[in-house]
Amino acid sequence: MPKYKLVCFDVDGTLIDNVTSSWQVFHDYFQTDKHRREDAKNKFFNGQISYKQWAEHDINLWKEKNAKKEDFFKAIRSLKLMNGAMETLRKLKQSGFKLAIISGSLNVVLEKFIPDYEGFFDDIFLSRIHFDENGNISKVEATEFDMDSKALALKKIAEREKISLKECVFIGDYLNDMKIIKEAGLGIAFNCNYQELKKIADVVVDKKDLREILKHIL
């Protein structure tokens, strides 16, 4: 019996390289108002608004700047797919693992670098921006499952699939992955610059090549 059944990935800094937060990349590109951003961020951390409300607030700042789909793609020109990402995903899929995305990132990021991502992953938790035929933002569906709530998304999938958390793997790079890395049977800190996360992870992979995770999972 294989030890693990489900492998979940973070996006920014894990599947996608040259980025810690794609939100920050978009804010820089669209030059949104720092004070309004700070205000919403503080409201979230003080418990006055939900994560979803915070995310929708920030996406609305881009909408106000008339951000079009092509602008989002331009904004992330300097990002790239992580080394070995496609080979790793294909290998895991061929080996029969369920694959999931549990991320605070945005659909436009994955769409640019893994255009067929919807077919690869059995479950996808991330924030989505929809565009109309002219490339304008038409609809926003922000995730609730970022930060500590990433662990809730993991539990949701595990419950539905009737597998234990011990049989789940999570790979992430940042402090918003602390809780989910603790909960997963195998928590991998990948491309990670944070000692707190490295300390609680079951495995630390410093080499920036996703194929390095395979020997710990297969």
Residues at the site binding Mg ion, with contacts judged by CB under 5 A: 10, 12-13, 173-174
The C-alpha atoms of residue 12 and residue 172 are separated, in whole angstroms, by 9
Q: Shortest approach of Mg ion to residue 170 CB, angstroms?
A: 11
Residue among 21, 33, 14, 56 nearest 169 (CA) = 14
Nearer to Mg ion, 54 or 174 (CB): 174
Q: Shortest approach of Mg ion to residue 162 CB, angstroms?
A: 28
The C-alpha atoms of residue 51 and residue 40 are separated, in whole angstroms, by 10
Tell me if 35 sits within 8 A of 5, measured CB to CB. Answer: no
Tell me if 129 sits within 8 A of 72, measured CB to CB. Answer: yes
Nearer to Mg ion, 88 or 137 (CB): 88
Nearer to Mg ion, 17 or 173 (CB): 173
C-beta nearest to Mg ion: residue: 13
> How far is C-alpha 23 from the geometric centre of its chain's CA atoms?
11
Q: Shortest approach of Mg ion to residue 187 CB, angstroms?
A: 13
Nearer to Mg ion, 140 or 189 (CB): 189
Q: Shortest approach of Mg ion to residue 208 CB, angstroms?
A: 13
